[in-house]
């Protein structure tokens, strides 16, 4: 049976799911049924998007993990990653943006960038980050805690080669270095742990990008046939809120993510230092050069 053999890709964190435009449907090994009718992820296409076919130019996609969960108000964009994929060069970049980075948010002034998601959802978050990075971000994928766990579980988990020891009771991240097949709860803990690192949220943000890359790589090797890809797209169709984007668009975006070797996708932290707004961070050091390098074609040639 195909479902039994095609692995449960693991998509991923719904983040990676996103990257592949959820395309990650590639998988086919849906092991845990998601709650019928529940929405786990939001995928939005902004009005400025002009993508209309096989992408032949750089595509920028925002992946957002929001902190929406029981007992926590709002839905701030606490995991922020802008992915640039260049099909011509066959390369890409993930820029990991600390949640406390300061930026101008329409209606709120200069404040922490993650507040944009609470005010205007993934579209406003994409607009604000696009301005900060100097790119147009036509696609945004947003997932909350429950959605993240649900999707990762649904696809059978995601394997992450844990780089360093993690032992954090706040997030529940307890991992030894080496490959770990993470379920939804473990993947969420891995993505939330900041207390194990001197740089806190900055390293956490990089870890999230690392998990996304792991998930994409897993997707690329474990799910390759059309039926499997359609299975995941159907899953997304049932559990994603699609705003201005259709499943066929996601299929093509997913193929784009699928086509680029993860070894050619750099995962880079945005350099920041204290300042810029109350309790916030501001891009510093080589940030302007990094962003200029990223903005022209989604690929870092000099960084």
Partner 1 sequence: MLIVALVVVLLVTISAHNGGKGASRPGTSSSGSEGLPYKGSIDLKVGPISVASSGDATTLDNKVAEKVLTAVNDYVDAAVIGPILSGRPARNLEKLFGLRVLNRIQTGGADRAALSDENLPDVAADLEATADPVGLDALIGPDGTVLMVGARLSLNLRTETADGPLTIARVGDLIFEPAADGRWQITGYDIEVTRNSAGSSTTTSASTEPTEAP
Q: Enumerate binding residues for partner 1 (CB under 8 A).
A: 2, 25, 53-56, 87-88, 90, 225-227, 230-231, 233-238, 246-248, 251-252, 255-256, 258-260
Run of H or E residues at 299:
none
> Do 28 and 7 touch, CB atoms closer than 8 A?
yes
Nearer to partner 1, 97 or 257 (CB): 257
CB of 95 to partner 1, least distance (A): 21
Nearer to partner 1, 89 or 295 (CB): 89
CB of 255 to partner 1, least distance (A): 5
Nearer to partner 1, 19 or 233 (CB): 233
Nearer to partner 1, 53 or 70 (CB): 53
Q: DSSP code of 262?
A: G
Q: DSSP code of 72?
A: B
C-alpha dihedral (127, 130, 136, 142), degrees to nearest 10: -60
Pick from 274, 253, 60, 21: nearest CA to 141:
21
CB of 155 to partner 1, least distance (A): 14
Nearer to partner 1, 72 or 259 (CB): 259
Spatial distance between the Cα atoms of 193 and 173, rounded to a whole number of angstroms: 6
Backbone angles phi, psi at 283, to 5 degrees: -55, 140
CB of 29 to partner 1, least distance (A): 13
CB of 252 to partner 1, least distance (A): 8
For 16-51, letters b (16+ CB in 10 Å) and e give: bbbbbbbbbbbbbbbeeebeeeeebbbbbbbeebeb
Backbone angles phi, psi at 116, to 5 degrees: -60, -35
Nearer to partner 1, 137 or 260 (CB): 260
Per DSSP, the three-state class of 156 is coil
CB of 287 to partner 1, least distance (A): 30
């Amino acid at each position: 049976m195909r479902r039994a053999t095609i692995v449960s890709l693991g998509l991923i964190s719904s983040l990676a799911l996103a990257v592949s435009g959820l395309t990650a449907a590639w998988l086919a090994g849906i092991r845990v049924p998601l709650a019928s009718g529940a929405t786990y992820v939001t995928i939005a296409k902004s009005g400025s998007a002009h993508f209309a076919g096989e992408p032949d130019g750089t595509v920028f996609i925002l992946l957002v993990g929001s902190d929406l969960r029981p007992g926590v108000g709002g839905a701030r964009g606490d995991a922020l990653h802008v992915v640039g994929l260049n099909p011509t060069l066959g390369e890409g970049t993930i820029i990991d943006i600390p949640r406390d980075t300061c930026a101008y948010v329409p209606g709120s002034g200069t404040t922490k960038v993650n507040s944009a998601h609470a005010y205007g959802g993934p579209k406003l978050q994409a607009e604000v980050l696009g301005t900060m990075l100097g790119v147009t971000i036509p696609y945004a994928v947003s997932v909350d805690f429950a959605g993240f766990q649900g999707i990762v579980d649904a696809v059978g988990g995601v394997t992450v080669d844990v780089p360093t020891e993690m032992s954090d009771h706040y997030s529940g991240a307890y991992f030894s270095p080496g490959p770990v097949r993470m379920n939804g709860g473990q993947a969420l803990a891995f993505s939330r742990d900041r207390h194990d690192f001197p740089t806190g949220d900055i390293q956490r943000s990089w870890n999230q990008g690392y998990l996304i890359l792991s998930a994409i790589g897993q997707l690329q090797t474990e799910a390759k046939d059309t039926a499997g890809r359609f299975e995941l797209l159907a899953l997304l169709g049932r559990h994603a809120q699609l705003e201005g984007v259709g499943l066929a668009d996601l299929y093509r975006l997913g193929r784009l993510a699928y086509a680029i070797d993860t070894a050619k996708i750099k995962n880079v932290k945005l350099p920041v230092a204290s300042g810029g707004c109350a309790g916030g961070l501001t891009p510093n050091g080589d940030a302007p050069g990094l962003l200029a390098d990223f903005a022209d074609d989604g690929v870092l040639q000099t960084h």
